[in-house]
Amino acid sequence: MNMPKRQIAGRILHHEKLAKYTSWRVGGEAEKMFIPSDKADLELFIEQLDENEPVFWLGLGSNLLIRDGGLTGTVINTRGKVKQMKLLDETHLYVECGVPCAHVARFCTENNLSNAEFFAGIPGTMGGALKMNAGAFGAETWSLVEQVEVQKPGQKIVSKTADKFAVGYRSVNGIDDACFMSAILKLERAKDQKGQERIKELLAKRNATQPTNLPSCGSVFRNPENDYAARLIESSELKGYKIGGAEVSTKHANFIVNTESATAADIEQLITYVQNEVYKKQNVLLKTEVCMVGKPG
C-alpha cells in the first residue's frame, strides 16, 4: 500500500517586498518566498525543489544587502520558524537554523553553560552564523561547532562533523550549494552564575560604540590582519560621508546607516566609495563582510 505523499504546510508568497525583512530596510522583491511551518516542513520543501533552483536563505536580514531589483528563484524565510533549541546532555546544545543568536546566548546562561555569551552581539540567526562563521567580542561561532546538518535542493538532509569544513575568519568552505539546517554546539559548564551579567556588559559596550538607533547591517567590512576597518575609514576622514540616504556612521566608521530613505544602490555606491578612498589614502583594500545579492534596480 502506497503511503500518501506528505504535503508542504508552510506558506508560499509571490513578489514579496524584501525591504521589511532586512535590517537596512532596503531591497527589491522576492520572486517566490517560502515560510516553513517547522524544520520537518523545510526539509520536505528543499527535498522537493529542483536541484538547479536558485535558493537564498533569509533569517533576521542582518549582514545583508539585497539590491533594488530583488531576487529570482526561491527565498526561504526562517524568521520565527525552524527555532527548536534543546540540551542533548550537560554540555551539548542542539540549535536549528532559525534560532536568533541572542536566544542562544540567553538559553546557555539560563542553563549554566558558558562560552556562548558572545552570541548576544550577533544580530542574526544560527543559520547565518554558521554560514559565515559570525563572531563578536573576540569569539567565533565555529569554535563551538561539533556537528551540523546540511541539505541541498532535491536531496535529503545529511549530518557532517565540523572537521569536514575549512573554517576561517568570516568564512566557511566545504558546504558547496548546501545550506545549514541545524548545529550541535559543545559548551562548558559555567564556573559561576555571572553569565547574564557578562551579556549585559557586552551589550552595553555594543550600544555605547555602535549606531543601534538607525537601520544598518552590522559591520560592513572585514578587519584586515592586525588592523581595524573602522580605524582605516575614520583615518580617511569618511565618518559622516553620505550618498543619498546612506551615511558612514559618525558613531562607528565600519557601519553604514540608512538615515532616511536610502536605496540599496545608495548603500552599494557608498561601500565602493569607502573602499576606493581607503585604498587611495591608506593603501589597504577593504573586503566586505556584508553579503550583497540580487539584481540592480
Q: Which residues are part of the catalytic machinery?
A: 170, 219, 289
Q: Measuring CA to CA, how many Å separate 76 from each of 49, 68, 72, 151? A: 12, 18, 12, 13
Which CA distances in Å does 41 have to 11, 12, 82, 126, 263? 10, 12, 9, 18, 34
Reduce the secondary structure of 155-173 to three states and give it as a string.
CCCEEEEHHHCEEECCEEE
CA distances from 21 to 25, 62, 131 (A): 7, 9, 19
Helix locations, the chain, DSSP H: 39-48, 101-110, 126-132, 195-209, 229-235, 264-282
How far is 271 from 164, CA to CA, in rounded Å?
34
SS3 244: coil
DSSP 80-112: TSS--EEESSSSEEEEETTSBHHHHHHHHHHTT
Residue 140 CB: number of other CB atoms within 10 A? 19
